[in-house]
Amino acid sequence: MHTLLDPAILFFVFGVLAGALRSNLDIPEPIKKFLSLYLLMALGLKGGFALAQSGMNPGVAAGLAAAVFMAFLVPAIGYLLLRRVASRFDAAAVAASYGSVSAVTFVTATQYLDNTGTAFGGHMTAAMVLMESPAIIMAVLLANAARQAVSAPAVVATNGGAAVMTAGAGAPGTPIGRILHESFTDGAQLLLIGAMVIGYFSGEAGKAVMQPFAGDLFKGMLAFFLLDMGLMVARNFDLARRASRWLLVYATVAPVVHASIALALAAALGMGAGDATLLMVLSASASYIVVPAVLRTAIPEANPALYFGLSLGVTFPLNLLIGIPVYAAAAAWALG
């Protein structure tokens, strides 16, 4: 109940209601872009300041390694399950979206932990950055394998009916190097990394100078952004509703499974409750900004309505309204 009464979450709910009522309430596109860039910049600075204060140690390294491990594991599990109910290309795209992360969900989770007085490390922002690319690598590898399967040898009859094998034309694979370059140089990703590096090197002095920008304004800007996200969720319900019931089940159940695996991993590594909560949130969330933009180029055969509609229309609101407090409670119960 505490998270539902948070003003930022209430603005998200209000946005969903306004969108469902087909209101003409809308946030102008330039303001949407500014809010997104502001949140990424402020989040990167916060993570850099916290990382400068804590420094690099075995616990931090273990947390980052756990995040990268989950970024490879989640799309692998997702693809193995989804290829039974969807095409290989759609399965690879959806699995990549769920293997990656939602920065907005992560930001909301950090605010929830701040509100409840739960400590967490700034290195978890770095963990979020590291979890973007492995899912994209997995998607490209799986899509290239699917194209190879489509272009498998075909049998033709020649020389009086003798069977001869010839290779099919097929579609060429997508170069991983080009996709990785697009991923790391994407504006949002680059801003987040750059802000975190600046925050790390400027340290306490930089934190004091940037407090009015990255601290005082943050909550209000987040509420404004979540209002827009609520409007987007309401307007993308139809995309999610057109998916098969098995994909809808995946979008609802898989995040809980991924969060449970992350909690077990966090317990094995001796992570604190705050860091474990954020690892669970990262593992349970799905990308609807960076990865879908890359997937349009990397896997043009996939249906964007599936991977965008499921992540934004189903998983995002579930995590925001229910998942974050549940993950935090589970981490507190398991890790004290």
Rounded distance, CA 39 to CA 226, Å?
11
| Ranges 4-18, 146-160, 244-258, most confident | 244-258
User: Which pTM value belongs to this model?
Assistant: 0.79
Q: Which CATH number fits domain 7-20+27-335: 2.40.110.10, 3.10.580.10, 1.20.1530.20, 1.10.150.570?
A: 1.20.1530.20
Which pair of structure tokens corresponds to residue 51?
């990382």
Residue 177 has pLDDT above 70, yes or no: no
Q: Which carries the bigger pLDDT value, residue 98 or residue 295?
A: 98
∠ CA 15-20-24, nearest 5°, is 70
Rounded distance, CA 28 to CA 69, Å?
38
Mean pLDDT of the chain: 82
Which pair of structure tokens corresponds to residue 291?
């990865």
Residue 236 burial by Cβ neighbours in a 10 Å radius (0-12, 13-18, 19+): buried
pLDDT digits (tens, 9 = 90+) for 137-150: 777 777 777 777 76
Confidence of residue 173 (pLDDT cuts 50, 70, 90): low
* Portion of the chain with pLDDT greater than 70, in percent: 83
∠ CA 324-330-332, nearest 5°, is 100
Radius of gyration of the chain (CA): 21
Report, as an integer, the average pLDDT of 217-240: 82
Which pair of structure tokens corresponds to residue 272?
């604190």
∠ CA 102-283-89, nearest 5°, is 75
| Long-range contacts, stretch 213-222, CB < 8 angstroms, 24+ apart | 213/42, 214/41, 214/42, 214/45, 214/46, 215/46, 217/38, 217/42, 218/39, 218/42, 218/111, 219/7, 219/8, 219/111, 221/35, 221/38, 221/39, 221/42, 222/8, 222/39, 222/107, 222/108, 222/111
| Ranges 145-159, 186-200, 233-247, most confident | 186-200
pLDDT digits (tens, 9 = 90+) for 201-217: 998 899 999 999 888 88
Confidence of residue 174 (pLDDT cuts 50, 70, 90): low
Report whether 74 contacts 99 (CB < 8 A). Answer: yes
**In the prediction, which pLDDT does 150 show?**
67
Report, as an integer, the average pLDDT of 259-282: 95
